[in-house]
Structure 1
Amino acid sequence: MTRTYGTIRVPLMRKIAVHGGGYVGLVVASVFARLGHVVYLIEPDGERLRTLVSGESPISEPGLGASIADGVLSGRLRPIADSVAAADCSVHFVAVGTPPGINGAADESQLIEVAAGIGRVATVDSVIVVKSTVPIGASGRMLAEIQRNLLARGSRVSAQIVVSPEFLRAGSAYSDFNSPDRVVIGGSDSEALSLVRDLYLEFVPADRILVMDEPSAILVKYAANAMLATRISFMNEIAALAEATGARIDAIQVGMGRDPRIGPDHLGAGIGFGGSCLPKDLAALKAMGLSHGIPMRIAHATDQVNLGQPHKVIEKLHALLGSLNGSVVAVWGSSFKEGTDDRREAPAARVMADLVAAGSTIRVYDPTLSALPASWATFEAAVVLTSSAAEAAFGADAIVVATAEREFRDASLENIASTMRRKIIVDGRNVMDPDKVRSLGFTYLGFGRP
């Protein structure tokens, strides 16, 4: 929001509440605090809150830690446990989870809980900016919950909702929010839309801010993620065909990527996509489509291809080793992608579950992993956490590369080879040079690579 003095636009500092201390909420809160606003970051999880109060980031994300530390030290970023202290905030960013519920539909319970909290405490007219990925109709249910709680206490405070979906990538979320390729804002109240637009104008060029109706703004996010996921699954199908015909997926990717209508991004083949967005948003898009009589067949096919990709690792190992009972497999990487410690829906977990079920012992290394995650409970008894890629490979029959970390691509295989029982590499991310790896005496298996 700005005030105009002659021809000079001066930012109007606000009290802002950010609900949710995950990837999105942390980035949003730290950036607006850096811009001079007083930001209340509401995070009910006690351990996470203590980390934030100490000025540290609970997640690994380039640039975010320093921004949080600066905000807390300056007093502009104020982590709190509930909405009470944020009662006089005029802007509320909502960045809580909407995990898959029944039939893949987004679970709105956290959204409704936040809405109820705002309605119980708000003392000033407020604009609620929904950053969470929500289905069409969710904002109306949130507004109804806010108004119900306002009415229950006889408050005459007003509230408006604007949808502004996030387009952040794990590993570059902080820079993505600071320098976005676009910001989407959707709603029906012109004053609320103008206020949110002005907030973004403090650091985003005007031509990158797209204002539209609310349903379109919601579907932009789902459609964008579904398109990215579809590209990945399509390339994995092409990689399977390349393996069957002797073609090379690397050459195919280059040839396709030179077409300006396609471009080179998201054409990689391997064990599939994961994370907090693509799998969840595909499921929600399919559920939303079914609720409106649209079966979303491409989204369904994309999901099915992706679910099958991690299982191809054990198929490749079975083809080489036969029975895996008693084998030792080093797994390099456990996050869903490089440059992040986010292991939600990571294909690596499915690979490890397959290997353990086949009788393998897993020696895992990930530079961001200090303890075995609770999500691995069903197979953790057969998993040994190691402190380096070389340690994980010691005595192993095979290495599975599950994350495209530079460290794995540049690993000293010359030294590692002599410590292994058998020299096999299954490159689940196609990050290694097959010819170089084979020249060191390894059997190399990638995806779509002969």
Structure 2
Amino acid sequence: MTEKYLTVTALTKYLKRKFEADPYLERIFLTGEISNFRMRPNAHQYFSLKDDQAKISAIMFKGAFGKLKFKPEEGMKVLVIGRISLYEPGGSYQIYVEHMEPDGVGALYQALEERKKTFQQEGLFNPDFKQPLVKYPKKIAVVTSPSGAVVRDIMTTVKRRYPIAQLVVFPTLVQGDKAAADITRRIKEVDQSSEYDTMIVARGGGSIEDLWPFNEENVARAIFEARTPIISSVGHETDITIADLVADMRAATPTAAAELATPVLREELLRIKEKENRLVQAVSVQIKHKQQKHEHAMNSFVFKQPKRLYEAFSIQLDTLNRRLEQSLAQEINQKEKAFEQMKQRLYFRNPQEKVNVSKQQVVFLDDKLEKSMARLLADKKREMQQSVVRLDMLSPLKTMLRGYSYTTVNEKIIKSVDEIEEEQLLNIHLSDGVIEATAKNVVRKD
């Protein structure tokens, strides 16, 4: 009898599996107020999330908590992403928080993460699609605001490192509702001109709202589809936008972007001079070596007695011709013997007998199939007739033919006298018609 009873451990494990198997509980987006929070240095954090009517326990592991960019406080309203599971020892369910942001900017962070996930699945971040930068660019396009420190830093760096490159600034909006469309238009304009070796898309630092145009889908797809290699430098070093992830190269600062786009001219000239010197030395050594080989060749017997050059080849050719003739004769003899043997085996293996046997088997199987189908059809016909008879025996019309009837009021079947009032119009249904009657006296049997 006790085998019907579960242990508490078994029930808890079953419930835990139910929690973990539910796809809707794998990734939960939750908003609430932090409660019972006590900072535990370099450890997992345990707290609660609550609203006006409910509360849920929460745990955030040390690794995830260490990535937070803000300090959680008691009573702070936050947006969290996590999964729901059951803590077996206590038998209570809780949320395992994987990401947490203060409510307000949290919606933008959530939208950013979802958009990153979508682009990741589409392959926009795939390194295989990223183009290498041109090492010695002739023209560089800079898509940024025409004013501010960003464009000045890029111009100063390029002029200092590689002044022979032509730098063209494409003024664009970098903040506000119209910025994304303007950035997209400028990127496509630069790419369609096919005049530029490298494109730098840049702006200074700011909040996530300020940098949001560089997280828009149209900007990301314009960067991904561009044939011109693009360096993205948006925000500060800790700010990473979708434009940074899609671009062929990401720079932490505008100065770093200019350094990635250009070599140092002075260093390149020194390297060219070093290679020139090594090339001159290498060519001199090669010329001297070739001269020595030429003098040695001119003293060789090949030029003094040229017939000796092909005597050995003539002897070898004659030997090979004899071997070839012997091999061909031996091969032809073996093929003739094999042909005769094959012809004899085919003669004794006439397939006509197997064909006759197979025909007899086909006739036998056809006859057997016809008989089986006939038996099966007869059995199914007999089963159907028996089912019709049983169905007819269960018909309510059979019962009414024995004198039974049923009564309705307003097309509703009456099952109790409590449903009838005196002088009420009744319809009594018989097997061959309907009688309209009036209830004169309603008596209930006690």
Which bracket does the TM-score occupy, shorter chain normalised?
A: under 0.3
Which structure: larger Rg?
2
TM-score relative to the length of structure 2 = 0.24
Q: Which has the higher contact order (CA 8 A, sep 6+)?
A: 1
The structure whose residues are more often helix, as a share, is: 2
TM-score relative to the length of structure 1 = 0.24
